[in-house]
Homo-oligomer: A and B are copies of this chain.
Amino acid sequence: MNYISIKEINSLSKWVKQAIKIKKNPLKNQSLGKNKTLGMLFFNPSLRTRLSTQKAAMNLGMNVMVMNFTNEGWTLEFEDGAVMNSGASEHIKEAAEVVSQYCDIIAIRAFAGLVDKEKDYQETVISGFLKYATVPIVNMESAIRHPLQSLADAITMEEFKPRHKNKPKVVLSWAPHPKALPQAVANSFVEMMQMQKDMDFVITHPEGYELSPEITQDCKIEYDQNKAFENADFVYVKNWSNFNDYGKVTNSDPNWTVTAEKMALTNNGKFMHCLPVRRNVIVSDEVLDGENSIVIEQANNRTYSAQLVLQKILKKI
């Protein structure tokens, strides 16, 4: 069993319930991971993912080896048949096969390069590990997906959803950001929402900022942010760089910043963000520090999201 995309989840509601159970007693399965080793390979920076995944593994009694691949290891070649006479010292084939011999589970973080859309959307790095590794692979944010985050988001929504409403309304809203960011968090959030029964979902962003149609499929898109926010129970905010004009920042309109005025349009909606968040660019201090902000709880649930995934994998190996 791998955990590459939120689509690995057979029943989202079941997984969410299991994660909430783990949260109540996180040390219950401490013998499950005994003498099992998690290798965490980072090709990019990480705070929450790094610490929460490590914490989850330790809760399960696992050994953890953390490696910043880019500066602690060798430059990898991903192309088959390459004549490796320039930069890369090691082919993904050997790297993945070798690491598989030292670890029972390999977790990988490898962001989008945001230059070559096709390469990013083929998930070159994580697909390479998936192809050649002989142990389960966990995605700690790949070029186009961040399924540990989205599972934590689902857990958090379950905890905070209004109890007496049939179909909570969830908005995914783009917001401005000075630097080009990957679409991974948004993509996985969309894929997770497609698995939610009994929720209304709408995506809002400036025209031209459409996510991949293969991801959004028939999701509702509303270009008027105010209209999208109306009566929302959850507002999930995230910047992403342009998918069509790939990896570019083509809009930085401060009118898209999430403010108290905008949150006032919602149904006392909760504010969500995966963090790190740029204050007063993505969202005003007032909203982020307000009582409806649940970003810290979201981050906390990263531990239980990771722990559930590791636990499921451990039970199968």
B276 touches A90 (CB 8 A): yes
A296 touches B101 (CB 8 A): yes
Whether A285 contacts B46 in the complex (CB less than 8 A), given A94-B276, A279-B91, comes out as no
Whether A94 contacts B46 in the complex (CB less than 8 A), given A27-B35, A102-B303, A178-B85, comes out as no
Number of interface residues, chain A, beta carbon within 8 A: 60
A47 to chain B, nearest CB (A): 4
A14 to chain B, nearest CB (A): 25
B101 touches A300 (CB 8 A): yes
Cβ contact of A51, chosen from B58, B67, B89, B300, cutoff 8 A = B67
Smallest CB-CB separation from A54: which chain B residue? Answer: B65
B278 touches A84 (CB 8 A): yes
Answer yes or no: A50 CB below 8 A from chain B CBs. yes
Give chain B residues whose Cβ lies under 8 Å from the Cβ of A98.
Answer: 47-48, 275, 296, 299-300
Give chain B residues whose Cβ lies under 8 Å from the Cβ of A277.
Answer: 90-91, 94
Stretch of A37-45, A120-128, A156-164, A186-194 with 4 or more beta carbons under 8 angstroms from chain B: A37-45
List, sorted by A's number, 6 A–B pairs whose CB atoms are closer than 8 Å. A27-B35, A47-B99, A84-B281, A85-B278, A88-B278, A101-B299
Q: Which residues of A contact B (CB under 8 A)?
A: 27, 30, 35, 37, 39, 42, 45-48, 50-52, 54-55, 58, 63, 65, 67-68, 71-74, 77, 80-86, 88-91, 93-95, 97-99, 101-103, 178, 275-281, 285, 289, 295-296, 299-300, 303
